[in-house]
A and B are shown apart, each in its own frame.
Chain A
C-alpha cells in the first residue's frame, strides 16, 4: 500500500493513501482533542453547526446543492471517542475524475468545499449564527436522549459508564443534556476556536492523488497556525483486578441485553496480538466458545459474542437472552473464561482464530474508509506497522502466551438490561 505521512505544520499531518482500486477519492479531516467532562458536549455540537453554513455556502441547502452538482459528493461528519480523546470527523467522498461524464477536477473542488465547511464558518461578530446554534442544540438534545432507542447499544454504553465511572472513557461521546442550556453562540465559537487552534489535526486522502498534493494542501491551510497538539496518546491501560460489579436495570424490553466488561491485565509488547487471538477463541468468531456454548449448545441466544477493545485493553461480551435465563447465561460465560485459563482449546482453535484475524487485516486496503481508520488508529497510539508485519505478529502467538494472558482476564462489570417486573421479585 502506498501510505505516506507528511507534516504540513507542527501538529498538522497529511496522510495520503495512493490507490487506483476505487471509483472515488475519499477525504477525511479529524480534529482530536482530549475527552473531558467540561468540553464533551460543547465540542460535539461543533460539526453540526459547521454543516449549517460557511462563509461561501451560507445555508445547509446551498451546501447540499453544491455537493449534488459534484455528482453527489457524499459529505458526512460525526463524533467519535478514541481512547481518552474526542474526535470530530469530517468526510467527503467524490467520484474520481476518470469516471466523470465530463472533464473536470473534482478532487481539488472537493478539498476546497470540505475545508470551507471546517475552516471558514459563517461567523458574525465572534459568534456563530444564533439560529443555527439553537436549532442544533435542540437536535443534539434529541440525539442524546435517543441513546435509549437501540437497546443493545444502550446496554453497552451503560456498561462503559459503570466501568469507567468518573473517567474520560466513561463519558458519552455526544455529551449531556444538562450542559446544553449554558451553551450560546459566543461560547460555542470560542470552543470552536480552541479546537481549531489547539487540536491534533489529521487530513487523509485516499485515491488517485496528484504528486503535488502536499503543496496544494499547505497552500490551502496557510491561515491555520502550527500548534503543540494536545491529545492523549493511546497507550495500554493499567487494568488492575477489582471486585466484580453487577448492575441490573429495567426498561421496557422483550429480550434481556447482557453486557460483560472484562479487564485484561497484561501489558507486554505482544499483549495486543495475544489478546486478539484470545478474544477470537473466546467469543470473536463463530467457532468460538461463546457462540458454540451459549448459542449452539444451550440455544440461549441468537447473538453471543465478544470483542477486544485495544485502546483500553478490555474485552466486552454481548448477549441477547430471555430475562429468566440470566443466571444460566452468566454461568456458561464464566465457565468459558475458566476453560480459557485451563488451556481447554485446541491447536485448530488457535489456527482458526489467527486465520480470521489475518483475513480481516488483509482486507483493510479493500475499503477506503477502513484503511483511513487503520492508519488513524496507529497515529493516535504512536504505533506504526504495515499489514504484513501485523499478520506476522499474529502468526507468532503461542498457546502458552494465550493461557498466560487468560490468568489475567478479570470480570470488571456485569450489566443486565431487563424487562420491567411487577411486584417484588
Chain B
C-alpha cells in the first residue's frame, strides 16, 4: 500500500492495487458523520468502438450505451432494485456517466457495511433482460427530452459541435431517442464484460475510516475474475482545427446564453501544470477583477461573471467561457481583443500573483466536502492524475510558463461561439 501525504492541505491518501487490477484509494477524514464510496469504471460516452479482450472481436456500439448501462446496473436477478435497497437503508445512492467514466456511489451515516455489500454486489453482477432493457427506453427518452428543454445544455452541446469534427464528445452522453432504441441486452453484456473488469476500475472511499481495515473489507467483497488484457479503444481521428466558427439556435429564453470555446490539443505531458496556468489566464482575461469584465459589466453588456472551465481527457481538450449576455458577439469580440492586448503587453505581474493566491484558496477549499474529494480523486485518477498534484505543481507555475500557455492555447483560429437566444 502506498501512502501519499500533502502537508499543505493536511490530508493523506492510501492507495492499494489489488492483484486483479482494481485500484482502491482511501482518504480518511476524522469526525465526519458521512462516509462516501464511489466505484468507477473507465467507460464513458466516448468509448463507442473497441476490441473486446476476451475474443479480440471489434465492435461499434450505438450512442448512449455507457449511460444506458448505468441505468440498468441497479436491476437485480431476484427482482429487486439496488437503488431501492440502498434507499431503504437510509443511504443516499446515485450514479452518473461522463465522457470518460461511469461511477456508482453512495453516502451513508448508518448501515455502512450493508450498503457496501449492496454496492459491490450490484456493480459486480449485471442482470439484463429484453424486457428490462425495453422498459428503460421510455425513462431515458424522458431524460433526453428534459435536456432538450435546458438552454444551458443545448448551448454547451452546440459549442462541442463547433469545435469537434469527428470526436464523440459532440454527441449527448445519453445518446438520442433514436440511438437508444438500437440498444439491446447483448450490447450491454458486451460492454459490461469489457469495461467492468477490475483492471479498468477504481474505488475511492472518503470518511472516518481506518485505511487498512476498510481496504480489507473491500477486498473481501470482490468476486474472482480472470485477468484481462488491455482494452483497445478506437477513437475517430480528430483534426486540430475547429469544425465551424459559430452556431446560433432559438429557444424560449429571456437573455441569450453563450459559450465561447477554445479548442486545445489533448495529451499534454504536464496537464496539471497547464490546467493551473489556464485557470489563472482565464481569470486574468475575464475574471471578476479583470478590466474587461469591469467594462462589460458597467456597460450592461454582461449580466454575471462568466463560468470559466478547462475540460480535457486523452481525446479532447477545450476551454469554455459561458454565461448570459445581451449580445454574445460583443463578448466574443472583446475577449479576442483582450487576449491580443495581453499577448502584446505581457501579463501584469501583480494580477498574476493575486490570481495565483485565489487559485490556491480554491484548491484547498475543495477538501471541505468528502463528496468533492472522492469524486475529484476518482475522475483525476482515470485521467492519470493524482489530485494532490494540483497543490504540488502550483508553485511551479511561473509567469513565463503562463505566458507561453497563453500564446499556445488562446488563439483566434481555435475560437468558437455558440449562442441560444430568444425567438
Closest residue of chain A to B90 (Cβ to Cβ) is A355
> Does the CB pair A95–B365 fall under 8 Å?
yes
> Does the CB pair A368–B362 fall under 8 Å?
no
Shortest A55–chain B CB gap in Å is 19
Which residues of the partner chain B approach A138 to less than 8 Å between Cβ atoms?
300
Which residues of the partner chain B approach A69 to less than 8 Å between Cβ atoms?
354, 357
> Does the CB pair B89–A355 fall under 8 Å?
yes
> Does the CB pair B300–A348 fall under 8 Å?
no
Chain B CB within 8 A of A149 CB = yes
Which residues of the partner chain A approach B310 to less than 8 Å between Cβ atoms?
none
Which residues of the partner chain A approach B257 to less than 8 Å between Cβ atoms?
149
> Does the CB pair B145–A254 fall under 8 Å?
yes
Interface residues of A in 285-312 (CB under 8 A from B): 285-287, 295-296, 299-303
Which residues of the partner chain A approach B92 to less than 8 Å between Cβ atoms?
356, 359-360
A321 to B139, CA, bound (A): 10
Given contacts A68-B355, A363-B33, contact A355 B110 (CB under 8 A): yes
> Does the CB pair B289–A320 fall under 8 Å?
no
Which residues of the partner chain B approach A287 to less than 8 Å between Cβ atoms?
84, 87-88
> Does the CB pair A135–B254 fall under 8 Å?
no
Chain A CB within 8 A of B369 CB = yes
Which residues of the partner chain B approach A68 to less than 8 Å between Cβ atoms?
289, 354-355, 357-358
Interface residues of B in 364-390 (CB under 8 A from A): 364-365, 367-370
A138 to B135, CA, bound (A): 48
Mark contacts of A339-376 with chain B using CB atoms, 8 A cut-off: 1 yes-contact digit, 0 otherwise: 00000000010011011101110110111100000000
> Does the CB pair B87–A286 fall under 8 Å?
yes
Which residues of the partner chain B approach A112 to less than 8 Å between Cβ atoms?
none
Shortest A288–chain B CB gap in Å is 9
> Does the CB pair A64–B289 fall under 8 Å?
yes
Closest residue of chain A to B302 (Cβ to Cβ) is A139
> Does the CB pair A99–B149 fall under 8 Å?
no
> Does the CB pair A60–B294 fall under 8 Å?
yes
> Does the CB pair B364–A302 fall under 8 Å?
no
Of B33, B140, B361, B423, most buried by chain A (CB within 10 Å of CB) is: B361
Which residues of the partner chain A approach B107 to less than 8 Å between Cβ atoms?
363
Closest residue of chain A to B367 (Cβ to Cβ) is A23
Which residues of the partner chain B approach A65 to less than 8 Å between Cβ atoms?
289, 354
> Does the CB pair A72–B140 fall under 8 Å?
no
Chain B CB within 8 A of A239 CB = no
Shortest A358–chain B CB gap in Å is 6
Shortest B92–chain A CB gap in Å is 7
Chain B CB within 8 A of A22 CB = yes
Interface segment, A140-148, A189-197, A400-408? Answer: A140-148
A139 to B254, CA, bound (A): 12
Mark contacts of B104-131 with chain A using CB atoms, 8 A cut-off: 1 yes-contact digit, 0 otherwise: 0001111100000000000000000000
Pick the residue among A71, A146, A296, A368 that contacts B254 (CB under 8 A).
Answer: A146
Which residues of the partner chain B approach A61 to less than 8 Å between Cβ atoms?
288-291, 293-294
> Does the CB pair A356–B90 fall under 8 Å?
yes
Which residues of the partner chain B approach A360 to less than 8 Å between Cβ atoms?
92
Closest residue of chain A to B304 (Cβ to Cβ) is A139
Mark contacts of B25-47 with chain A using CB atoms, 8 A cut-off: 1 yes-contact digit, 0 otherwise: 00001011110000000000000
A313 to B142, CA, bound (A): 30
Chain B CB within 8 A of A93 CB = yes
> Does the CB pair A72–B255 fall under 8 Å?
no
> Does the CB pair A366–B289 fall under 8 Å?
no
Pick the residue among B8, B32, B151, B357 that contacts A72 (CB under 8 A).
Answer: B357
Which residues of the partner chain B approach A152 to less than 8 Å between Cβ atoms?
146, 149
Chain A CB within 8 A of B303 CB = yes
Given contacts A69-B354, A252-B423, contact A366 B324 (CB under 8 A): no
Chain B CB within 8 A of A322 CB = yes
Which residues of the partner chain A approach B137 to less than 8 Å between Cβ atoms?
299
Which residues of the partner chain B approach A185 to less than 8 Å between Cβ atoms?
none
Chain B CB within 8 A of A218 CB = no
> Does the CB pair B34–A64 fall under 8 Å?
no
Chain B CB within 8 A of A24 CB = yes
Interface size class of A (residues with CB under 8 A): 35 or more
Chain A CB within 8 A of B81 CB = yes
Which residues of the partner chain A approach B252 to less than 8 Å between Cβ atoms?
148, 251-253
A71 to B394, CA, bound (A): 14
Chain B CB within 8 A of A423 CB = no
> Does the CB pair A23–B33 fall under 8 Å?
no
A72 to B365, CA, bound (A): 10
Which residues of the partner chain B approach A301 to less than 8 Å between Cβ atoms?
139, 142
Shortest B368–chain A CB gap in Å is 5
> Does the CB pair B138–A299 fall under 8 Å?
yes
Pick the residue among B88, B303, B367, B370 that contacts A366 (CB under 8 A).
Answer: B370
> Does the CB pair A286–B138 fall under 8 Å?
no
> Does the CB pair B145–A145 fall under 8 Å?
no
Chain A CB within 8 A of B10 CB = yes
A148 to B251, CA, bound (A): 11
Of A65, A94, A286, most buried by chain B (CB within 10 Å of CB) is: A286
Shortest B12–chain A CB gap in Å is 15
> Does the CB pair A23–B365 fall under 8 Å?
yes
Closest residue of chain B to A73 (Cβ to Cβ) is B361
> Does the CB pair A286–B84 fall under 8 Å?
yes
A359 to B35, CA, bound (A): 11
A312 to B91, CA, bound (A): 28
Which residues of the partner chain B approach A300 to less than 8 Å between Cβ atoms?
138, 142
Chain A CB within 8 A of B360 CB = yes
Chain B CB within 8 A of A151 CB = yes
Which residues of the partner chain A approach B9 to less than 8 Å between Cβ atoms?
23, 99
Chain A CB within 8 A of B297 CB = yes
A253 to B148, CA, bound (A): 8
Interface residues of A in 12-61 (CB under 8 A from B): 20-24, 59-61
Which residues of the partner chain B approach A303 to less than 8 Å between Cβ atoms?
142, 146
Chain B CB within 8 A of A74 CB = yes
Chain A CB within 8 A of B218 CB = no
> Does the CB pair B360–A352 fall under 8 Å?
no
A20 to B29, CA, bound (A): 12
A367 to B293, CA, bound (A): 32
Which residues of the partner chain B approach A149 to less than 8 Å between Cβ atoms?
151, 253-255, 257
> Does the CB pair A355–B34 fall under 8 Å?
no
A254 to B148, CA, bound (A): 7
A35 to B222, CA, bound (A): 57
Chain B CB within 8 A of A101 CB = yes
Closest residue of chain A to B291 (Cβ to Cβ) is A61
Chain B CB within 8 A of A120 CB = no
A-B pairs with beta carbons under 8 Å apart, 20 shown: A60-B288, A61-B290, A67-B358, A71-B358, A95-B365, A101-B360, A146-B254, A149-B257, A150-B150, A252-B251, A253-B252, A254-B145, A255-B145, A302-B140, A320-B142, A355-B88, A356-B90, A356-B92, A359-B91, A359-B108
Q: Residues of B with Cβ closer than 8 Å to A?
A: 8-10, 29, 31-34, 81, 83-84, 87-93, 107-111, 135-140, 142-143, 145-146, 148-151, 251-255, 257, 287-291, 293-294, 297-298, 300, 303, 324, 354-355, 357-362, 364-365, 367-370, 423
Q: Residues of A with Cβ closer than 8 Å to B?
A: 20-24, 59-61, 64-65, 67-74, 93-95, 98-99, 101, 131, 135, 138-139, 142-143, 145-152, 251-255, 285-287, 295-296, 299-303, 320-322, 348, 351-352, 354-356, 358-360, 362-363, 365-368
